[in-house]
Amino acid sequence: MEALTSLDSMQLSFKEHFGRESEYTFFSPGRVNLIGEHTDYNGGHVFPCAISLGTWALAARRSDDRLRFFSMNLPRMGVLEFPARGLVYRPDASWANYLLGVVRMLEDAGYVLQTGFDVQLCGNLPSGAGLSSSASIEVLMAVLLNELCGFGLDRITLVKLAQKAENEFVGMNCGIMDQFAVGMGKKDCAILLDCNTLQYRYSPLDLPEAAIVIVNTNKRHSLTSSGYNDRRRDCELALADLQKVRPLQALGELTPAEFDRLAGQITNPVARRRARHAVYENARTLEAVEALEAADLAKFGRLMDASHVSLRDDYEVSCRELDLLAELAWKHPGVIGARMTGGGFGGCTVNLVQKAAIPDFEQVLREEYTKNIGYAPSFYVASIADGAARLA
């Protein structure tokens, strides 16, 4: 985590702000989704992986029932203090609401904190970039409390509680993908997850001559105010129309051919486009994983490109900055595939790039993007990591 700080610096900061040494260290990754966007809450498939960028936490038990939090990324906010029980969302709590939500969801499930904690966070996930900084924090807190309080909850349960914290406490109506990837990540593997059943399997990312390059538009997105929840309502409207003529639990149950036969039942044309993306993107995801496992990177790349077009035209969650980065990538001879990743309205693209071409790829995109947008993008060559865990 060099670019961010060192663990020694974190220890010094912890002692400065809490007056004692920390006792435990945890790390929780971010995630990038290779394909399968806005399919998770539509009961479809996704194909994310955890990445080495993420969030570190130092923690120590308290003798009382107070929770005290400090973020090295937001030092001006100082130490934030809360009770360990009966928590409610507080606008003035800012980033700490992601932690408080997990504590409250555990309490509601019958797992009440009997002691307080001092917790200091430090992360190198760019905020608002669509790499799941909120899920990284939520799963981190869930894993930390589960281990230090001896709750004995399995990892899938922790993932669900972290998602519930974001849905019900923070108010972001996200699907399960982000928290699942952060909690269940496996080094050098992506996860094919059926969001309808939570059945999953790991797929090795064997890319001897290619690499995953994340490009950040540096245009911050804010999903709760950007229209994400509106997209979800559009899909629910489409599903309700389809359920009048066919028993369905989720859009992800339909094949593209089945959707095309039934699409006329969706009375709202906007909802019809949203549903078309969800159904076709689900099919693309399954096809893309098959291609990757057959070492057909060219086909995988074409499906990535098609995913972006659908997100741009049918789901309308792209933006000028994301479209420019995708279009520049498509023109580069070293790029196998490129698409926006995350909720959209800003954030990042994910690119499959030949390793030898990465320096030129970065130079061309940096120059053209800066010339057109007025500021530079940022680049990260992704290392695929394990899920959230306590560090030795």
Q: pLDDT of 162-175, one tens digit each?
A: 999 999 999 888 88
Q: pLDDT of 88-125, one tens digit each?
A: 999 999 999 999 999 999 999 999 999 999 999 999 98
Percent of the chain with pLDDT over 90: 88
Output the pLDDT for position 19: 97
Please state, in angstroms and as integers, the Cα–Cα distance from residue 282 to each residue in 37, 45, 50, 372, 389, following that order: 8, 6, 20, 33, 30
**Residue 251 falls within a domain, yes or no?**
no
pLDDT at 1 over 50: no
Range of the domain at 107: 7-203
**Residue 306 falls within a domain, yes or no?**
no
**Residue 287 falls within a domain, yes or no?**
no
**Residue 34 falls within a domain, yes or no?**
yes
Collapsed DSSP state (helix, strand, coil) of residue 4: coil
For this structure, is 178 an active site residue? yes
**Residue 222 falls within a domain, yes or no?**
no
Output the pLDDT for position 220: 67
Collapsed DSSP state (helix, strand, coil) of residue 192: strand
Q: Which of 64, 92, 154, 178 is catalytic?
A: 178
Whether residue 71 contacts residue 5, with contact meaning beta carbons closer than 8 Å, is answered with no
**Residue 384 falls within a domain, yes or no?**
no
**Residue 131 falls within a domain, yes or no?**
yes
Output the pLDDT for position 2: 42
Output the pLDDT for position 173: 80
Output the pLDDT for position 5: 61
Collapsed DSSP state (helix, strand, coil) of residue 57: strand
What's the CATH code of the domain at 142? Answer: 3.30.230.10
**Residue 383 falls within a domain, yes or no?**
no
Q: For residue 3, what pLDDT band results from cuts at 50, 70 and 90?
A: very low
Would the pTM of this model clear 0.85, i.e. be above it?
A: yes
Output the pLDDT for position 297: 95
Number of domains, the chain: 1
pLDDT at 45 over 90: yes
CA diameter of the chain: 66
